Amino acid sequence: AAELEYESVLCVKPDVNVYRIPPRTSNRGYRASDWKLDHPDWTGRLRVTSKGKTAYIKLEDKVSGELFAQAPIDQYPGIAVETVTDSSRYFVIRIQNGTGRSAFIGIGFVDRGDAFDFNVSLQDHFKWVKQETEISKESQEADTRPKLDLGFKEGQTIKLNIGNMATKKGGAAKPRASGSGGLSLLPPPPGGKIAVPPVPSPSSSAIVNHVTPPPVQKSSNASSADILLDLGTPVPASKAPATADLWGDFSTASSAVPNQAPQQSNWVQF
């Protein structure tokens, strides 16, 4: 897992001064006024990086980038990085080499803003470390808690109550009211049929359009030959007028009325 972690750069400051500081003689904090501030022992570049949860303060050469010293930091504030009591631009850091030997040196920035950025970069990193630790702790506690089983047990059922549904078996749903402007139509009764009007047969229409001639009175003394002759005799045209002649009588009557406006020819006059 350590090989998969990558190193990120948190802060870079091009000018930093390094001082050799006297050992601490009491529990009181370090004072920058005890150092030789006008004559720094080394000057170079400072980089703050992080790899995993550990931050590193690296002092490097300005030109070649060669590493001069390195201070690993596991927590902040802590013994690895301390501030002085008489200034906000100077700090005391604990550097370590590859063999595990350590020493305390003093560093200082000419610009007060550089010192502020250096301090904030360390605070932000360890704030993130604290949040990650709390999240991992909560996830571990959640794994140990008994999980809530929301599945159905054997034989367990569920009942759903849906509105606008028939409550009895075989009951029909009530018709919904139509919206504004619509027509509310009731469903047809069960087994009902719509009556279709009968279509008139051609023979009935022909009977309506023709006039049946009156029967001919025959005497009882007439012979059978006369009866056969009467059946074969054609009906005179004056007694059985055609369909067009019937409407002609109405047209003649209407034309006789004076001061009447003429009507269109394609309409039948009454």
230, 216 contact by CB (below 8 A): yes
Give the predicted TM-score (pTM) of the model.
Answer: 0.51
Q: Is 47 a member of any domain?
A: yes
Q: Is 234 a member of any domain?
A: no
Q: Is 242 a member of any domain?
A: no
Residue 111 CA to residue 92 CA, distance in Å, equals 17
Q: Is 177 a member of any domain?
A: no
Give me the domain span that covers residue 51.
7-134
Q: Which of 174, 74, 185 is nearest to 130 (CA)?
A: 74
Which pLDDT tens digit goes with each residue over 211-254?
455 555 554 454 454 544 444 455 555 544 544 455 555 555 44
Number of domains in the chain: 1
What value, to the nearest 5°, has the Cα angle with vertex 208 and ends 206 and 212? 90
Q: Is 34 a member of any domain?
A: yes
Q: Is 51 a member of any domain?
A: yes
Here the tokens at position 183 are: 């027509």
In this predicted structure, which of 68-77, 188-197, 213-222 has the lowest mean pLDDT? 213-222
Whether residue 190 is preceded by a cis peptide bond, meaning omega within 30 degrees of 0, is no
Place of tokens 């702790």: 137
**Which pLDDT band, with edges at 50, 70 and 90, does 99 fall under?**
confident
Q: Which CATH number covers residue 126?
A: 2.30.29.30
Q: Is 59 a member of any domain?
A: yes
Q: Is 192 a member of any domain?
A: no
Residue 166 CA to residue 184 CA, distance in Å, equals 20
